[in-house]
Structure 1
């Protein structure tokens, strides 16, 4: 191992990011050095690098919040991991001491440290350091193909679990079947007997959703509510909105049935009015962001069993700028993974 490595760094607000030569980090007590297999790119990275808004901690740091790899070195005091283990790095560190963490709701940690790739060094490099409590074992899964589980797959899994809580199935609508929505369709088929209705503005995304198990697919538009009602005998029991704009949330409120649950995942900036008798009787509206470690482990187990399919488009490390441009233009079909130089 060399003393330095190439990393893709967020260097200043409003700047598109830069390749920089940086020292290879070393793990401290309770930490592991992870040799990166790959790290994902998504809309969050675009927001970080191009918006200029100070939503995240100030730079500089290495980008990459959706990362998988192999343990290369262990810090002092670590006895429950082995060099060579394949791991996912949960991008959402947790304090471990607040009430939420103590009841295994790490995604709701009230004293959360900075996220990997979004405040502290992430995975767009050959190596990264992570606290071992933020690692999830991949077992037999190849880290190079498992990368999307580190964010998209786990976020979607948490949303599906929330959608299934009231009814454990029934008629469930998925709005937006891109990278996260594809996972949701698969999880719903694997975990329930739900009648899955998928909507998107892209025909190719709907074709993929049908391949993965959606019973009905519709192009989103002015007649979407009528189509959803026709495909949902007995009423809609849950809606998972991976878009989160005004139109998608309005559609969710128009189709949800009494006692149903709307789960908003998408961060499109939309607003939904709620109140007494605004939604049908006893209907619920919840937002969700991130995942519990339990969710990540269960998603990995489904992938290990072959009950879900992991697909992604891979790009070379040297093409990150081009990849971000293409991602912003919608050129990719699903999740995008940057292959590490550490292969």
Structure 2
């Protein structure tokens, strides 16, 4: 291997790589040899260090989310790695740089893209849904969407910045616009809810109430700074929320599950004029109930998806400076060949996982 700037960081005779390939029609996948991709103009080839397994990946596997791209695709939309090769026209990046690629590609044609507001692209292509992702030894990414990772941030933690942490960050900071001293509730303390809680604490929310069926998840929430951790089956849940908020209800709530039951409960716990942000997704239909009561309460229901690529840089700085601790976020690491085991661990909820990582280039 060579590591000089501009020299490919791979063996000279490398022409294939190992990758997970999902047939979106049959919903079956295998890990197999595929041609090594080449970066096009404005792109880089990344040697993948780690890539997360997310509930969105499970939704593509089980057909909840429809395929957006080719019939056969490589999954994995949150990743960290090292630049292995530069495409034509790429500047200010070097072979060997430690990076996180954005989990989407702006179309470059819509009105937002024409104004260079790529974070507002109306036809964004999602990595691992519309084009090949990072459950592979190498992946291709647009150079304009890369974030440089500080040396003191581990590649494991860097990988989850691109969705598992950045989506919650954007939900709290951009969509809900949580302010210092506002009360916050989080329904579902898994891969998304855990980080919603941490970001809410970081911006000064108080009190923070975590709600989850799993005792291990509730304990994790308390360990990470929640003021209260409640069981949604508790018949006195509403009374508990009222008590700790002085009878007002919560200023902002986050539904990190996306089911009708969690949505209804979160909406009911919301203060008049408060904001409910839907971060979790499912195929279930949601309702705000009687229109008169909804309007009188002035409650706001906001859908949320994704993040701005610049958010990853903010989070990398927070981790680098010790403001954000992700030491409890990595529950398991599996080799690429064992990716089916990692998927099963997440699907079954074994050990109350926050995030399971794939390590495609494990020694």
Category of TM-score, reference length = shorter chain = over 0.9
Choose the corresponding residue for 1:69, options 74, 81, 86. 81
Q: Relative to structure 2, which stretch is displaced further, 59-68 or 91-100? A: 91-100
Native 8 Å contact 1:166 1:261 kept in 2: no
Please, which moves more after superposition, 277-286 or 67-76?
Answer: 277-286
**Counterpart-to-counterpart distance in 2, 1:103 and 1:178:** 37
- 1:136 matched to 2:123? The reply is no
Q: Residue in 2 aligned with 1:238?
A: 252
**Could you say what secondary structure the match of 1:58 adopts?**
coil
| Shift in alpha-carbon separation, 1:327–1:185, aligned structure 2, 3 A | same
Give 1:107 shift: 5.1
Is 2:133 aligned against 1:118? no
Separation of aligned partners in 1, 2:130 and 2:324: 31
Give the unaligned 5+ runs of structure 2: 1-10
Distance 1:280 1:296 in 2: 38
**Residues 112 and 230 of structure 1: is their aligned pair in 2 closer, same or farther, counting only changes over 3 Å?**
same
Quote the offset at 1:297 in angstroms: 2.1
1:196–1:52 distance in 2 versus 1, CA, 3 Å? closer
Are 1:317 and 2:336 an aligned pair? Answer: yes
In structure 2, distance between residues paired with 1:143 and 1:266: 25
Q: Is the 8 A contact 2:172 2:178 kept in 1?
A: no
Q: Per-residue deviation at 1:163? A: 5.8
Cα distance change of structure 1 residues 107 and 273 upon mapping to structure 2, 3 Å threshold: farther
1:14 is the counterpart of 2:33? no
CA distance in 1, matches of 2:186, 2:59: 24
Query: For the structure 1 residues 166 and 288, does the alpha-carbon distance in structure 2 shift closer, same or farther, using more than 3 Å as the test?
Result: same
- Render the CA deviation track for 1:174-214: whole Å, top value 9, x for unaligned: 11111111111111111224311110000100101111110
Residue 293 of structure 2 aligns to a residue whose secondary structure is coil
Structure 2 CA distance for partners of 1:96 and 1:52, relative to 1, 3 Å: closer
**Aligned pair in 2 of structure 1 residues 189, 13: CA closer, same or farther (>3 Å)?**
same
Taking structure 1 as reference, are residues 280 and 176 closer, same or farther at Cα in structure 2, changes over 3 Å only? farther
1:225 partnered with 2:225: no
Contact kept in structure 2, 1:11 and 1:17, CA below 8 Å: yes
Instruction: Please tell me whether the aligned partners of residues 183 and 205 of structure 2 are also in contact (alpha carbons under 8 angstroms).
Output: no
RMSD over aligned CA atoms reads 2.1
Pairs within 5 Å for 1:161-176: 161-162=173-174, 164-165=176-177, 167-176=179-188
Q: Distance in 2 between matches of 1:339 and 1:280?
A: 51
| Correspondence for 1:261 among 263, 275, 296 | 275
- Residues paired across the two proteins, number: 342
The CA deviation at 1:280 is 5.3
Cα shift at 1:82:
1.6
Distance 1:226 1:14, change over 3 A: farther
| Distance (whole Å) between structure 2 residues aligned to residue 28 and residue 134 of structure 1 | 14
- 1:93–1:112 CA contact under 8 A, matched in 2: yes
Give 1:306's aligned residue. 322
Who is 1:89 aligned against?
101
Rounded Cα–Cα distance in structure 1 between residues aligned with 2:178 and 2:165: 22
- Residues 210 and 67 from structure 1, CA distance in 2 versus in 1: closer, same or farther, beyond 3 angstroms? same
1:339 alignment partner in structure 2: 359
- 1:145 counterpart = 2:153: no
Cα gap change, 1:86 to 1:56, in 2 (>3 Å): same
Larger deviation, residues 176-185 vs 12-21: 12-21
Q: Which of 287, 296, 302 is matched with 1:286 structurally?
A: 302
The TM-score, its normalising length taken from structure 2, stands at 0.88
Superposition deviation, residue 104 in structure 1: 7.4
- 8 Å CA contact retained: 2:52, 2:76: yes
1:328 matched to 2:347? The reply is yes
| SS in structure 1 at match of 2:28 | coil
Deviates most, 22-31 or 154-163 = 154-163
2:220 corresponds to: 208
Report whether the alignment pairs 1:272 with 2:287.
yes
Q: Where does structure 1 lack aligned partners over 5 or more consecutive residues?
A: none
Partners in 2 of 1:228 and 1:105 — Cα distance?
40
Deviates more, 1:320-329 or 1:208-217: 320-329
Give the TM-score normalised by the residue count of structure 1.
0.92
